[in-house]
Amino acid sequence: MNLESVSLNSNNPSISEGLQSNPPQTNPQAPLASVSSITESQVSPPSTLRENVEIAMKNYFSQLEEQQPVDLYNLVLAEIEAPLMESVMKFTRGNQTKASEVLGLNRGTLRKKLKAYGLN
């Protein structure tokens, strides 16, 4: 398996299964022994970005098989930073000055990142 083919985004079925908005209902009266058989998709969906990242990373590592991850920090940063930039640019209606203020970035840094992600 090619490491770059392992996706961290929520379009990946193995990741999105754990993020369902309507998880199957479990029986609250079920014996405690059956609780261990509950999967992540049956638990309520994560509510924070941190929880979503944790689930995505678990899925990523489970798909690696025997391969060692390389440059993981930049891979994760690119997966998060590109949609962040796109969302902030939509929120500010393309105003780079406002976007740089919202993000807490220098305007030159913002422009460089927008260009890197093809969002300019």
Tell me, what's the pLDDT at 23? 38
Q: How far apart are CA 8 and CA 55, in angstroms?
A: 9
C-alpha span between 59 and 53 (Å, rounded): 10
Q: What angle (nearest 5°) sits at the alpha carbon of residue 52, between those of residues 46 and 99?
A: 115
Say which CATH number the domain at 83 has. 1.10.10.60
Same domain, 26 and 50: yes
- Give the pLDDT confidence score for residue 18 in this predicted structure: 37
Residue entry with tokens 């902030």: 88
| pLDDT tens figures, 44-62 | 777 898 999 999 999 999 9
pLDDT, one tens digit per residue, over 1-15 is 444 444 444 444 333
Q: What are phi and psi of 12, to 5 degrees?
A: -70, 125
Q: What is the pTM of this model?
A: 0.58
Query: Which tens digits make up the pLDDT trace of 48-101?
Result: 989 999 999 999 999 998 899 999 999 999 999 999 999 999 999 999 999 999
On whether both 76 and 56 belong to a single domain, the answer is no
Query: Which is it for the CA torsion 71, 73, 79, 83, positive or negative?
Result: negative
